[in-house]
Amino acid sequence: MTRTLLRIDASARTDGSVSRELADRVVNRLAPTQVIRRDLADSLPQIDAAWIGANFTAAEARTEDQRAALALSDTLIAEIEAADTLLIALPIYNFGVPTALKTWVDHVARAGVTFRYSEDGPEGLLRGKRAIVVVASGGTEVGGPIDFATPWLRHVLGFIGITDVQVVTADRLAIDPDASRAKAEEQIEKLAA
């Protein structure tokens, strides 16, 4: 049962977005107790040299400026930690993820916080969570040879410990929009609350 859901909207479009529309349907289907919203259309700042310097400074040794540089990243990670389920509304842009979603990943993939390196390789630290990725694309078939978005996002989520990932697909909307939407709606109806 989903108690707290973190909804991440990655579409640059706030009106007429299929990924947002389908994410609304997922929220209605799951009926979580609480929804935390993170709309990436509002844009996140790119990580920069100050952010990297702060990130690679031990927490207890960080200056006030370094803590300020990581404040947004800390907030984004706290949103994930608070959620049982992540819902990512993902449009495919030019075969990949929107830059806003890549920037979100840059903020939340932090060594020692959301993953760590061990003798056996990287280990995700955000275990026990579920992710539902609602994908909308005009012509890129999810799982096809030119889909670089969903395999990348699955890898990133697994890297930080989220391995229970379900994908709802409304792909090839420019080719057969009715069939594409119907397929996605059927997948949403099968999602377990």
77-114 tens-digit pLDDT: 999 999 999 999 999 999 999 999 999 999 999 999 99
Give the pLDDT confidence of 157-189 residue by residue, as tens digits: 999 999 999 999 999 999 999 999 999 999 999
Q: Flag whether 180 is marked binding.
A: no
User: Which helix (H) or strand (E) segment is 103 a member of?
Assistant: helix 99-108
- DSSP per position, 166-181: EEEEE--TTT-HHHHH
On whether 137 is known to bind a ligand per the annotation, the reply is: no
d(CA 20, CA 9): 7
Domains of the chain in sequence order = 4-189 (3.40.50.360)
Position of tokens 């009106």? 15
Quick count: other Cβ atoms within 10 Å of Cβ 46?
A: 11
**Residue 18 annotated as part of some ligand binding site:** yes
